[in-house]
């Protein structure tokens, strides 16, 4: 996989909207299906699976999360962890979001999100307001 700005990270809010078939994912629904261009920080598995477990049954949650495993999964290493901590403090964003954002910067990806605290942080973030 060639890493660069033609690759994407969809934060947990996007995956949940996509799995729900929401109108909110209209802008990126075709992109999210192309798993060759998507990077998944491992923290997204936690967030998405937890929410799916709360809203569905375990078999459904496992079935849906399998789509994420088709993407390029990246671990959170030492350097990303430290940089994410700095980002969390500087941008005043939660831990998981700072990790996701840091991974998107590290791998030079476009980050799609519905989380408003990302709205004006970076030009490579595509903030999509929920309808």
Question: How many domains does the structure of the chain reveal?
Answer: 1
List the CATH number of the domain containing 48. 3.40.50.1010
pLDDT tens for the 131 residues of the chain, in order: 455 568 999 999 999 999 999 999 999 999 999 899 999 999 999 999 999 999 999 999 999 999 999 999 999 999 999 999 999 999 999 999 999 999 999 999 999 999 999 988 999 999 999 88
pLDDT of residue 1: 47
Establish if 1 belongs to a structural domain: no
CB 109 within 8 A of CB 1: no
Establish if 3 belongs to a structural domain: no
Q: Which CA distances in Å does 84 have to 70, 93, 114?
A: 25, 10, 19
pTM for this structure? 0.92
Establish if 104 belongs to a structural domain: yes
User: Could you tell me the residue range of the domain that residue 116 belongs to?
Assistant: 8-127
Establish if 2 belongs to a structural domain: no
Q: How far is CA 66 from the centre of its chain?
A: 15
């Amino acid at each position: 996989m060639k890493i660069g700005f033609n690759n994407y990270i969809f934060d947990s809010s996007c995956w949940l909207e996509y799995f729900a078939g929401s109108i909110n994912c209209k802008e990126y629904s075709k992109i999210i299906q192309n798993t060759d261009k998507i990077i998944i920080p491992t923290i997204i598995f936690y967030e998405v699976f937890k929410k799916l477990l709360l809203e569905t049954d375990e078999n459904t949650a496992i079935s849906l999360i399998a789509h994420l495993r088709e993407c390029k999964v990246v671990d959170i290493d030492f350097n990303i962890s430290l940089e994410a901590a700095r980002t969390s403090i500087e941008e005043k964003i939660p831990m998981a979001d700072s990790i996701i954002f840091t991974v998107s910067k590290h791998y030079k990806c476009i980050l799609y999100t519905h989380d408003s605290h990302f709205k004006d942080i970076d030009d490579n973030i595509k903030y999509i307001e929920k309808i």
